[in-house]
Amino acid sequence: MSARFVALPTDVVSAYQGGHLDAYGLKPEIKVCDGAGYPCRHCLAHIDIGDEYLVLAHRPFSSVQPYAETGPIFLHARPCDRYPESAQPPPALLERPQMIVRGYGMDERIVYGTGGVVETARIAEIASRLFEEPAIVFVDVRSASNNCFFCRVERGTRG
């Protein structure tokens, strides 16, 4: 089973860029990028020095429940192109040595035994292996150092 990397949906990002309140009911903060390390969760690329970006609390789940983690994310303040769903991990992700991966079921709850800190270069391979378990619907990728949501990995096609 193959895996594909999926960025935040454009409608969600556009709402935040338009001032929609975050997961904590706060307006996104507007900052100016002063260096590397701020990857946008929509284009999955670094925000350029001098560009405005948003910092906000995001919960990439459809409902509030014990496994629905909320954390900070960065987004370009202005519209950007969404990273195309791909079996190839985005370059900004590969710059990090390790990430956290966790498999989730249809109920958006962690499937026990699927989480861990892994070498970033192995995320697609590990996600593909996790997808051999029918109960796993998606895999979330988070920062190993700050636990920030980076992107989701969904089932691709067989073969």
* Contact in structure between 92 and 149 (CB atoms under 8 Å): no
R_g of the chain computed on alpha carbons? 15
The sign of the CA dihedral 83, 84, 85, 91 is negative
pLDDT of 13-55, one tens digit each?
A: 999 999 999 999 999 999 999 987 799 999 999 999 999 999 9
State in words which class domain 85-155 has. Answer: alpha beta
d(CA 132, CA 123): 14
Query: pLDDT higher for 145 or 82?
Result: 82
* Contact in structure between 55 and 31 (CB atoms under 8 Å): yes
For the entire predicted model, the pTM comes to: 0.93
Q: Which two tokens stand for residue 91?
A: 């370059």
In the chain, where the domains are located: 9-76, 85-155
d(CA 149, CA 144): 10
Averaged pLDDT, 64-82:
96
Mean per-residue pLDDT of the chain: 94
